[in-house]
């Protein structure tokens, strides 16, 4: 059996999800994507958020893959702001609108090191909300500029406070002004969106290509992709193996002491005990 891995390129700075799949005789090029060039998308989008999701799966050259292994990338940088976090932002904002937690004229605030803030700023610009992003001083200046270009106000918190300081600032602003706080780590709209979109997209694309998915490898941030897409994959493909990869020097799960993220997200401990995950040191 030839192994096939699918990697998910989450942004321009590629984060990886990988799948190990048994090949079928029919090549992936038999899909109609190339043949449909020129056909258009069958309509127009009312705003940019409609283009989030349905990102392509692309084979990595055999020259770069281990012998006997097929590697595929789910290219999340095809999302409008080039990140898997576009899904998170759409999920949280749309769920808040539907529940009434976010109303016209309100301000959206979130603490973020970058990609989530960029995605939230984009969705707010499309939906007409003011956006405030709290970001610790050590994080990327370029990302601050991009968020401001999208119309967000960026509040830079002191370096000494690190991630905890920016989170507390966002919570303080929310409490003071009655703003809507995204709570990306706790918000269940995050993983539920991946369960409804990312996971089924993977299942459907590999089924259409005649490929049997055997492994999925993913990184870990908020846990939304791992939790939601992983759940959808296991529901559709009970035998698939899910591998969770994280840096040895900064392991959230392997260390058992994920710090502020542990305080913010009780989901983390639940995921540590999931039987379908494997941790690499």
Check: CB of residue 3 under 8 Å from CB of residue 12.
Answer: no
What is the rounded distance in angstroms from the CA atom of residue 116 to the CA atom of residue 73?
21
What is the rounded distance in angstroms from the CA atom of residue 189 to the CA atom of residue 183?
10
Rounded to 10 degrees, what is the CA torsion of 232, 241, 188, 205?
A: -40
91's tokens: 């999920």
Check: CB of residue 194 under 8 Å from CB of residue 10.
Answer: no
Q: Who contacts 53 (Cβ-Cβ below 8 Å, separation ≥6)?
A: 79, 87, 197, 198, 201
For 34-64, b/e burial (b = at least 16 CB within 10 A) is: eeeeeeeeeeeeeebbeebbebebebbeeee
Q: Who contacts 214 (Cβ-Cβ below 8 Å, separation ≥6)?
A: 1, 3, 4, 19, 20, 21, 22, 239, 240, 241
Helix axes 224-236, 198-208, angle to 10 degrees: 40
Check: CB of residue 66 under 8 Å from CB of residue 97.
Answer: no
What is the rounded distance in angstroms from the CA atom of residue 201 to the CA atom of residue 194?
10
Catalytic residues: 85
């Amino acid at each position: 059996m030839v192994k096939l891995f699918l990697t998910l390129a989450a942004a321009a700075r590629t984060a990886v999800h990988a799948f190990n799949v048994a090949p079928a005789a029919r090549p992936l090029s038999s899909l109609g994507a190339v043949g449909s060039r020129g056909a258009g998308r069958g309509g127009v989008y009312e705003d940019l958020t409609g283009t989030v999701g349905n990102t392509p799966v692309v084979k990595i050259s055999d020259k770069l893959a281990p012998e006997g292994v097929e590697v595929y990338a789910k290219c999340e940088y095809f999302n409008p702001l080039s990140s898997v976090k576009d899904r998170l932002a759409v999920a949280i904002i749309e769920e808040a609108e539907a529940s009434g937690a976010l109303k016209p004229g309100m301000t959206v605030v979130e603490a973020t090191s970058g990609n989530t803030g960029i995605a939230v700023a984009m969705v707010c610009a499309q939906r007409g909300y003011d956006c405030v992003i709290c970001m610790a001083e050590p994080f990327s200046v370029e990302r601050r500029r991009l968020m401001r270009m999208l119309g967000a106000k960026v509040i830079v918190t002191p370096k000494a406070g690190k991630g905890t300081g920016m989170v507390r600032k966002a919570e303080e602003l929310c409490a003071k002004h009655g703003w809507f706080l995204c709570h990306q780590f706790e918000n269940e709209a995050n993983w539920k969106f991946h369960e409804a979109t990312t996971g089924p997209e993977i299942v459907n694309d590999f089924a259409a290509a005649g490929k049997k998915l055997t492994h999925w490898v993913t990184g870990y941030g908020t846990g939304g992709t791992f939790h939601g897409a992983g759940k959808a994959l296991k529901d559709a493909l009970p035998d698939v193996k899910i591998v969770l990869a994280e840096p040895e020097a900064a392991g959230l799960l392997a260390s058992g002491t994920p710090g502020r993220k542990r305080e913010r997200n009780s989901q983390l401990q639940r995921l540590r005990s999931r039987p379908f995950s494997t941790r690499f040191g």
